[in-house]
Each structure stands twice: as structure tokens, then as C-alpha cells.
Amino acid sequence: MAEAVSADAPALPRPRLLRQDWLDLSFLHWAVEPSAIAHHFPPGTAPDSFEGLSYVGLVPFRMANIGFPRGPALLQGFLETNVRLYSVDATGRRGVVFLSLDADRPDAVAAARSVFGLPYRWARMQHQKVDGLHTYTTDLRWPRVAASSSVTVRPGPSLTPGPFEHFLTARWGLHVARAGRTWYLPNEHPAWTLQSAELVDLQDNGLFASVGLPGLSARPPDHVAYSPGVPAVFGLPRQVP
């Protein structure tokens, strides 16, 4: 049975592994049938669903203040755009499965791929804030993959999160396949501050196709939101049975 969805993170066991700030996030989500994406999930996990549907998220944002739990930042920051799915494992833990994490720091990409097995890819990226609009551009620079995207969002008034928003954003870990096993990497952060948002423009030039979801952006997203961000901390990974 899946754990309850909660806007407040469960206590994160010590020791802590990493800290990072997630800033200026835009959340775009498309509803999909769980069976249509089930093959993307690592062993021991399955698509999580809300009222019978699962979701694909496109989340561009700024990463900052990256380092160990104590001490100075090891990296001041970089831009990231990820495509993600929502998972539940055999123990009932809800999480995120990343299909791609595109970032503009080659050293961060190499470290995340080698240490955690996460599907990071190097890209040239920009984030601009002009007249209240946030525009995120991604141009992949990855072997044998040609893809780019541009997302422009206009944040609106404060949004009171309901069960659906909590389902999409209150995720206290990620699932990843590594070394022939599936792992759960837990995190904690304050409850999200969310704003309603309008998608002004979306240009998908092969981004969704590059992760096996061609044609998804041909229709508008089913949900759009914005957050100024949260500080996050990660704990030690745990094996999924």
C-alpha cells in the first residue's frame, strides 16, 4: 500500500549526504495512462497515479548552493531541465523517476552520472526573467542526441496547494537503477510555496522524443505552476527490495 501523500517531509535519517537549493522552478505536467509509461520504471517500482492517471513532468529551474550538509558550497549553481515520472515502490514509498536531467555544468553532469547513475546530460542553457516572464532554454550537447527546448511561463497569484499539487510536488525521494539494483535516495525540504502560472510558449524540438515520449508536447500541459524554490537535503540511498 502506498504511503500517504503529505506536504510535509518525513524526518530524514542521518547521516545527511548533500544539500542544494532549487530556485525559480516551473512545473509543467501532462496526464498519461500508467500503462503507457510503465516500461520506463526501474525494477521494483511502478507508475504512481492520481485518480487513475499518472503524469509526466517537465521542470526547468536553477540549482544553487550545492555541497555537503555543512561547510561552504562546492558548486555555486547551474541550470537544469528535467523530464520526470512519478513512482511508487514495493515498500509503498512514493518518489520520482527521472528520464533526463539536462544541466549546463559538465563537471556536475559527470559526477551525478558516475556516483548516482542519474541520466544527466550536458546542455547549453539560459534562464531569463523579463517583465515577469521566466524563459528557460535548453540546447543539448550530448552524443547522438539532437534536442532543444524553450519554455516561457508567467507566474500568477499564490496557489493554495490541494491533494493534486501535493501529489505532483511533495515527493520525498527518487528511484534510480544503479549497479543492477534499484535504489531510493531520500530528501527533505520545507513545504512548497506555489503560484498559479500561465504557459506563454513551449517549443519542444526533440526533447520529449529523446526520452521516449514523442508527441507529448503536441497538446497543452494539464497543469502549470511556479515556485520561487526551496532548500533541500539528501540522505543516504536505500535499496529497494
Output the CA torsion sign for 24, 46, 38, 184.
positive
**Contact partners, residue 217, CB within 8 Å, separation at least 6:** 30, 202, 204, 207, 208
CB-based contact 134:79 (threshold 8 Å): no
pLDDT tops 90 at residue 209: yes
* Domains by residue range for the chain, with CATH: 16-239 (2.40.400.10)
How confident is the model at residue 35, as a pLDDT?
Answer: 98
Task: Calculate what percentage of the chain has a pLDDT beyond 90.
Answer: 90
Task: Calculate what percentage of the chain has a pLDDT beyond 70.
Answer: 100
How confident is the model at residue 13, as a pLDDT?
Answer: 87
Tell me the average pLDDT across 17-45. 97
Instruction: Give 161-179 pLDDT, tens digit per residue.
Output: 999 999 999 999 999 999 8
Kindly report the average pLDDT of the chain as a whole number.
95
Q: How far, in Å, CA of 108 to CA of 219, rounded?
A: 33
Instruction: Give 108-152 pLDDT, tens digit per residue.
Output: 999 999 989 999 999 999 999 999 999 999 999 999 999 999 999
The region of weakest confidence among 13-17, 47-51, 105-109, 158-162 is 13-17
Tell me the average pLDDT across 217-234. 97
Distances (CA, A) of 202 to 6, 58, 60, 224: 30, 11, 12, 12
Instruction: Give 49-75 pLDDT, tens digit per residue.
Output: 999 999 999 999 999 999 988 888 787
